[in-house]
Amino acid sequence: MSIINYAAKVINFKLVYYGPGMAGKTANLQFVYRCLPDDNRGNMISLATGDDRTLFFDFLPVSATSVRGFTTKFQLYTVPGQSRYNMTRKLVLRGVDGVVFVADSQWDRLKENVDSLRNLNDNLREYRLDLTTVPYVVQYNKRDLPDVAPIDYLEYTLNRGAVASRGSFLYLAEFPDGPPPGIRPGTGRSLVMRHDLAIHEADAARIDAVLERFLGDSSSAAVLLIDRSGEPLALAGAARTLDTVSIAALAAGAFSSTAALARLLGESEFSVLFHEGAKESLHVSTIDDDAILLAIFDERTTVGMVRLFAREASQGLGAILLEARRRPRRTGVLAAPLTPEEARSAIRQRPA
């Protein structure tokens, strides 16, 4: 589900790197991070175990070229590959717009690839998606190792019945001159998809008014409206610069994992998440099935006050978002598919 903000002129996409453990998903994000100029990349966050295995996800926000006056932003995520972390993989797939399946080319990893691809399909189905509708590319990684299966064979096994938008490519290090042809995002497709959320100028103004009022009433320092897929939708307060993109990704991750915890205990959801710091505290609460509200506050107020006014603000925000989701998509300048020139204007690499 891409999120289109007509007020800020930004389109947000979520891309997930999927695949078996040790195939090179984390290495991919590190590679992308290294290749991009500072202006095009945010902070990379890795939630990993002590021995560098991905525990929850890696996250890298990338801002790319502008398309028809809109800045395109991509949130790149990886999942943990080990089979026991399926709950986590499912959470990370929420709101996905495109998948890069990172396959391990070694013969003795073939079964893990197939299992992971099946698992991807199973998990997508829970969001009523599948690999025929979600843009999807396969990356055959680890081609430099001995005992690798031929590409044709891997294609046959992992990329059968490919639809036109799919591609496959070898590992990124083989392409010093830029992204391989397999990752032309959205070519031939409309930029606006069925599941998108479009926030128009009028919605944005109403959202801002609710957030400002919440700040005044609750004496919080900052407040963030966050989509549960991890994307920030709006912000108020915070005189100092916050890394709102990282905060949104981490808060949505934490909130969705506590929701999963709640279900394990037979609760439908824990509606509030509260973290108390020495100077500042965080309060995260439910707005609706798709959005959460995060408040940052200090000793000028109390958690009780914040909770009270968060409930009120959530009702107002829920109503605005419901209207935005129900409204037919105003496709306008974004309706037509990308032209080949627009698709080619990819991100430039970091100067050597």
Ligand X SMILES: Nc1nc2c(ncn2[C@@H]2O[C@H](COP(=O)(O)OP(=O)(O)O)[C@@H](O)[C@H]2O)c(=O)[nH]1
* CB nearer to ligand X: pick between 79 and 259: 79
Q: Which of 5, 12, 40, 54 binds Mg ion (CB under 5 A)?
A: 54
* Residue 259 CB coordination number (10 Å): 19
Q: Whole-number minimum distance, CB 133 to ligand X, in Å?
A: 25
Residues 9-38 that bind ligand X (CB under 6 A): 19, 21-27
- What are residue 143's phi and psi, to 5 degrees? -70, -15
* Residue 130 CB coordination number (10 Å): 13
Query: What is the total count of residues that contact Mg ion (CB under 5 A)?
Result: 3
Q: Which residue is nearest to ligand X (CB)?
A: 24
Q: Whole-number minimum distance, CB 21 to ligand X, in Å?
A: 5
Query: Strand, helix or coil at 88?
Result: helix
State the Cα–Cα distance between residues 336 and 189, nearest whole angstrom.
8
Q: Whole-number minimum distance, CB 26 to ligand X, in Å?
A: 3
Q: Whole-number minimum distance, CB 152 to ligand X, in Å?
A: 19
* Site stretch for Mg ion (CB under 5 A), options 19-27, 134-142, 247-255, 277-285: 19-27
Give the x-and-dash track for 59-88 against ligand X (CB under 6 A): -------------------x--x-------
Q: Whole-number minimum distance, CB 54 to Mg ion, in Å?
A: 3
98 binds, among Mg ion, ligand X, none (CB under 5 to 8 A by kind): none
* CB nearer to ligand X: pick between 153 and 323: 153
* CB nearer to ligand X: pick between 12 and 75: 75
Q: Whole-number minimum distance, CB 58 to ligand X, in Å?
A: 7
* Residue 17 CB coordination number (10 Å): 27
Query: What is the CA 197 to chain-centroid distance, rounded?
Result: 14
State the Cα–Cα distance between residues 167 and 111, nearest whole angstrom.
21
Give the x-and-dash track for 109-148 against ligand X (CB under 6 A): --------------------------------xx-xx---
Does 88 participate in binding Mg ion (rule CB under 5 A)?
A: no
- Give me the DSSP letters along 260-321: HHHHHTT-S---EEEE--SS-EEEEEEEETTEEEEEEE-TTS-HHHHHHHHHHHHHHHHHHH
Query: Strand, helix or coil at 236?
Result: strand
Q: Whole-number minimum distance, CB 81 to ligand X, in Å?
A: 5
List contacts with ligand X (CB under 6 A): 19, 21-27, 54, 78, 81, 102, 141-142, 144-145, 171
Binding site for Mg ion (CB under 5 A): 25-26, 54
